[in-house]
A and B are shown apart, each in its own frame.
Chain A
Amino acid sequence: MSTQTHVNTAIQTHYTREDLSEVILAALLKAGKDVNRLTPEDLAPIDQFHIRGRMATLELARAAGLDATHRVLDVGCGVGGTSRCLATEFGCHVTGIDLTDEYCRAAKALSARTGLSHLVEYRQGDATSLPFEDQSFDVVWTEHVAMNIPDKARLYREMHRVLKPGGTLAIYDILAGPTGPVLFPVPWARTPDTSFLVAPDELRDLLGEAGFTVTDWSDTTELARTWFVALAEKIRKEGFPPLGFHVLMGADFQAMAQNQGRNLQEGRIVLGQVVAKK
């Protein structure tokens, strides 16, 4: 088994939860939602699987100048929350790709239930071997994905290849912080074996080497800390809500979330919102 295949299998195992679509629908019912008339807002607490959720997605979209004429590729689309958000708020057509079978299925099912199947579609695939023609997309988008990918040079080369000339790369990622190693488990990895963080300067170099010009870079770590403190306080007072990322990740999510909070507070991780041009 090649290293890439080995890592891919470990990542699929990390994210796979059997019958995920049914698990999510059950959680939505428990939360009192009408599962036959779902809106992207109903799904937001569970389908925007990144720090600061929907808010962070909308900020990145504005920074990237997204509009209805754009054809977007969401690399590591998860259960499709971002693709539905972008399709609804900006009217753009979004193709999502994810390594994990259960995520692609759930993404497709939830998009059908929100009446967005005409604007979003999903492919199962590997971000470092994208199955798209050169120059297919106006925008390549990725949130909280690269930390699972060891060969980042290849990842950004592939993203560059499928972008049209002048196209936009929009990134919102967890990066290595200045103070020390990450405490595990975290939501993206239960052990260091599937975690591959780079520092902000390394990401900047990788993007340059792939042919990108960075046009906007925001460090959103402080916003993330504030958001996390508020979320932890809410969970302490009210317990886990019916809808939350724990539904996706299962029983050890509490330990993951605690570590994520500490990693942020202690500067073990930082957050970057980056826009780059081809």
Chain B
Amino acid sequence: MDPRLLEILVCPLCKGPLDYRKEAQELVCKPCRLAYPIRDGIPVMLEDDARALGAEEE
């Protein structure tokens, strides 16, 4: 996925910036402790589809 395509994408809940984790194909919102999946190149920006970050995850 082209990182430029992610430039205006934010967390749908807090509207804060996201960390792109290339290997996991996830977009992480640290304050919300959520990882939004990128499936087949399409970011899935739904709270219900996001993975809750584990306690040890940064």
Contact = CB atoms under 8 A, between A and B. Distances in A.
Contacts of B42: 104-105, 108, 122-124
Contacts of B9: 123, 131-133
Nearest to B36: A131
Interface residues of B, number: 20
Interface in B1-36: 5, 8-13, 15, 36
B8 A129 contact: no
A132 B10 contact: yes
Given A105-B40, A108-B40, A129-B13, A136 B8 contact: yes
B10 A131 contact: yes
A122 B44 CA distance: 10
A101 interface: yes
Main SS of chain B's interface residues? Answer: mixed
A126 B44 contact: no
Interface in A33-65: none
Contacts of A123: 9, 42-43, 45
Given A126-B46, A133-B15, 17 more contacts: A8-B46, A108-B42, A122-B42, A123-B9, A124-B45, A125-B44, A126-B45, A129-B12, A129-B13, A130-B12, A131-B36, A131-B43, A131-B45, A132-B8, A132-B10, A133-B8, A133-B9
19 contacts: A5-B48, A8-B48, A99-B46, A105-B40, A105-B42, A108-B40, A121-B5, A122-B42, A124-B45, A125-B12, A125-B45, A126-B12, A129-B13, A129-B45, A129-B47, A131-B10, A131-B36, A131-B43, A133-B10
